[in-house]
Amino acid sequence: MSKLTHRFRAAGLGLALLLMTLTLVSAPAEATNPNGCHGTGTVVTYYSDATLTTVVGQYTTSCNGTCSGSGRVTIYYTEAFLSCPPPPDPA
């Protein structure tokens, strides 16, 4: 087998491995927190993909820590913060 043929085979194998890796990495996975909430005073909006154009879920955690919302939880999200008052002074 010539050196050129060997190089083409090696390059083809490398390209195939790269494409397989990209396919696995780009597959959307579910977020680790299945209820969708991130913490007190947050509004989390979930999207279908990395372009952040199609909303698939939204969850809010109120200032008192109550989680509410609906939809799908994905790894693609934005997070906003509510203006919560400081906790009472335990005096």
If one compares 21 and 55, the residue with the highest pLDDT of the two is: 55
Q: What Cα–Cα distance (Å) separates residue 74 from each residue in 38, 58, 60? A: 13, 11, 15
Residues for the chain: how many in total? 91
Band the pLDDT of 4: cuts 50, 70, 90: low
Q: Is pLDDT at 86 greater than 80 in this prediction?
A: yes
Q: How far apart are CA 2 and CA 77, in angstroms?
A: 51
Lowest mean pLDDT of 27-31, 43-47, 54-58, 59-63, name the range: 27-31
Beta strands in 1-91 (DSSP E): 42-47, 55-61, 67-71, 77-81
- Render pLDDT for 49-67 as a digit per residue (tens, 0 to 9): 999 999 999 999 999 999 9
CA atoms 49, 52, 57, 59: torsion sign: positive
Q: What's the mean pLDDT in 28-54?
A: 82
Please give the share of the chain, as a percent, with pLDDT higher than 70. 62
